[in-house]
Every structure is written in C-alpha cells, then in structure tokens.
Structure 1
Amino acid sequence: MSVSRYIYLLLVVGLLTCSVPDAGAQNIFGRLKDKLSGKSAAGERASKKKSDKSVTAIDPAELSLDENVMLPRVGDKQHKAVADYMGQLAKKLASRKLARIELTRGGEVVVATIGTDQLFAPNDTVLRDNAQEFLRPYADLLKQVGMYKIIVVCHTDDTGSENYTDRLSEARASAVYDYLLKNQLESVDLLSYALGAAEPCVPNDSRDNRAKNRRVEIYVVPDMLILEMAKSDKLQFRN
C-alpha cells in the first residue's frame, strides 16, 4: 500500500469516529409563552413543545381555562395587598355599569360578564359599532404591560347544533381578542377560549335564560408586575 493511500485511509477513519454534536443540547431554552397563540388556540390545547428531555417550554394556550385563571400565583404574604388592589379595580369597572363585575380566586381576580347581544347582532361574528364602549377598559388595562393577564371566554346558548355553537363562540372570541390586541405591544398577556354552549350559567329553558347564557367573560388576572410591587410594598391603586 502506498504511503499516500495509507494516510487517506487514516483520515477517513478519523472522520467516521469523530463524535457528532447532540442536537438535543442545542436551543434547550424555548420561549415561555407565545402571546399571540391565544386566538388561534381558542378553546383548544396545542401539543407541548419540548426542546429536550430536561427543559419544557410551557405555552399558556396549552393550559385549561381554570389553570390559566390560577396563574401566576400570589404568595400568602401578598394576598391581602393584591386582593385590595383588585377590589378597587373591580369597583372602578363596575361604576361604568356596562358589565356585571365579580371577584374570584379569593378576591384576586376580576371577572367582567358582558352579554354578547351587546357586542354582536344575532348569529353575527362582527363586533357592533358600539362594542368598543364595552371593551375599551380591558384594552386600556392591557396597555399597562406586565400588570394584568386578560382571558376572554365566549359562551353561546344551546340554539343550533354543537358544531354551530362551537364555531360561533370561536369566531366571536376571536373578534373580541382581535379588538383587545389592536395597537398593543406583542408582550401583552392575552388569551381566549371558546366554550360554545358547554357551560350555561342558567338552564336554557326560556328566552331570557338563553340571553343570559350568550355572554363573554373577561378575566383580569394580576400579572407579575403587580406581584412584584406587592412584595416590595409599592402596590397602590390609582384611578
């Protein structure tokens, strides 16, 4: 065997035995959340994305409504300050008399309920011209980036097939989502769910009850900036 051919074989063997970098070791840190995935994932869960076996990036759109309402959690020491703050926000929203305002999660989360008849024409999915009067306060809250997570939940009555009510609530949830997202920064915390006729608040046994079941619920959840201010005793409500 010639010397040149021997050297060539050594080079080939060396290349074959070199270790290949593990692709799983690259890009192991995924984004914690894609803020714009809420609309397309309304009422659905996307499959979990794993960059490797040890690190999992969790998208809020993968979580159920109940799970999202519970996050982020408020520490026991900050509960009173956060609940007092959100209580004052609830009073301010209630003073407009354009939605039913309630508190949940021990007073930490505001829930605004607006009849969809106020926002949409019958069987329509385009917001009425005056819908912004009802929705503007929640768009304004989103402009305070980091202060609030807002979750839009759209319900229908049981008129029509399940496929129809599901599609109607999804299209309406998307319309509200798009309005709230307009002119916002990409970092806003906004999600939407479409539940169709699956969760009536009253039996669908009369015209009045069906009107009550046709509703949009807007959850206003204290986000990380409120929690940080509560920890440093700097959380004060300002009108």
Structure 2
Amino acid sequence: MKVISKVFAIAVLGGAIVLSGCGASNTVKGGGIGAGAGAALGAGIGAIAGGGKGAAIGAGIGTVLGGTAGAIIGNKMDKQAAELEKIEGAQVEKVNDGQAIKVTFESGILFATNSSTLNTESRASLDKFAESLLNNPDTDVKIYGHTDSTGNDQINNPLSQRRAESVYNYLVSKGVSGSRMIAQGFGSTQPVADNSTVEGRTQNRRVEVYILPNEKMIQDAQQQAGQ
C-alpha cells in the first residue's frame, strides 16, 4: 500500500473540493477552463484546504487538466460517474471542476459501529464499484476514512485508517491494482456535518473515494488535443 504524507493528502483533498455538483456536464466544464485559469483555480482550492500549503499541488492539477485536454478527460469522467450512480448506497459527486469523481460511502452502509469489518451489503456495493474501476483503468484512487467526534483521537484515528484499508484491501481482492490506490484515515478532523446531533455524526462516519485521472489519461488527452 502506498503511504502519503499529511501535506500531500490535504492538497489532494483541496483539489477535490466540490466546485459544481450539477448543471453542465464534465465535458463542457472541462473545456471551459484554460491552462492559466486552471492554475489559478487549482492554487486557490489548494490554499483553502491546506492553509496555503497545498497551493502548489493544486495549481499543478489545474494546469494539466485545462483546455481541450480537460474536456476530453471530463467526458471520460462523465461516463464513469454515470456507471457509479447506479450503485446502491453510493453518493456520487463531480469534483475538481468535473474532472474527477468523489464517491461517499456512509459507515452505516460499510461498517457496524466501532468496526472496520465490511458488512454483506457493502461488499455487494463494492463489487460493483470494483467492476467500474476495472473498466476504467486509467485513474488513480484515493480512499479516505473518517469518523465522528465520539471518542478520542487514540480511538478515532486508527479506526478511520482501518476502515479505509478495509475498502482498499477488498478492492484489491477483486482485482483492482493496489499500485493505483492509497488509503488514509483522518479520524474526526474533517467533519461534514454537526457532531452535536445524531444525524450529523452519522454523516461524519464515512469513507470517501476520489477517482482522479492518472498520468496516462492526462498524456493521452493532451496528445488527442494536439498539445
């Protein structure tokens, strides 16, 4: 399993902040952002998530996915997102200006409380998820585990890591190459809802998977675009 530094993880997440979850397709949005604008936009997103530390990596993401090449990649991501939306229990969002995909699995679907063992229902969902990844090999996959604020960091941090690794290991068992994936836990540090409510804590207990174009997809898109 690949291990990434905290700074790199934050930068990637910064590049994956939702910019527009609906409206124009990825193809249209990808073509509407030029290389220069992409660099500025990527830098801004990285800075928001990383307190300025993620700006350089964010800018790199924005630059390589600009213009016609970005439209080509966006079209491919549109098609895969449509596949993933058919999976029961998976929330699919288009991120990084439509040129990447975020899939969120709630822990109630994936795990029992305080457990990192995948349940039967989640295995069925991940089977379909693995099939989509195998059908679309030119992507990198980043798996992030999260918990609510119940308990302390000594409990939450390793639990979130184990949950991310459970998804990683299951996908590997279904034939997805481990070399294209990473898994990391963030404990309770990145809530998406209010931890003071039952509903909010449920939303915060989750596994997020980001699907990003890999180097081959980017190079193929640039060649196709004549760049």
The TM-score with structure 1 as length reference comes to 0.66
Question: Given residue 8 of structure 2, which amino acid in structure 1 is its aligned partner?
Answer: L
Q: Alignment partner of 1:64: what SS?
A: helix
Contact preservation (8 Å) 1:153, 1:218:
yes
Distance 1:95 1:146, change over 3 A: closer
Letter in 2 for 1:66: A
Task: Flag the structure with larger Rg.
Answer: 1
- 1:146-185, aligned counterparts within 5 Å? 146-184=137-175
The answer to whether the Cα contact below 8 Å between 1:86 and 1:108 also exists between their aligned partners in 2 is yes
Asked if 1:80 is matched to 2:71, the reply is yes
Instruction: Select the residue among 97, 108, 114 that pairs with 1:117.
Output: 108
Distance, in Å, in 1 between the alignment partners of 2:83 and 2:144 is: 21
1:105 aligns with 2:96: yes
Distance 1:137 1:185 in 2: 12
Between Structure 1 and Structure 2, how many residues are aligned? 179
Deviations 1:158-215 (A, max 9, x none): 1111211111111111111111122537573101110010000011121111101111
> 1:149–1:222: 8 Å Cα contact kept in structure 2?
yes
Corresponding residue number in structure 1 for 2:11: 66
Q: 1:145–1:86: structure 2 CA closer, same or farther, 3 Å change rule?
A: closer
More divergent stretch after superposition (182-191 vs 80-89): 182-191
Larger RCO (CA within 8 A; separation ≥ 6):
1
Structure 1 CA distance for aligned equivalents of residues 207 and 7 of structure 2 = 21
Percent identical? 23
Q: Gaps spanning 5+ residues in structure 1: where?
A: 1-35, 46-60, 235-239
Match in the other structure for 1:93: 84
Q: Report the RMSD for the aligned CA atoms in angstroms.
A: 2.5
How far residue 64 of structure 1 moved from its aligned partner, in angstroms, is 2.1
1:1-239 aligned within 5 A: 36-37=1-2, 41=3, 45=5, 63-67=8-12, 73-143=64-134, 146-184=137-175, 188-233=179-224
Alpha-carbon contact 1:145-1:188 (below 8 Å) kept: no
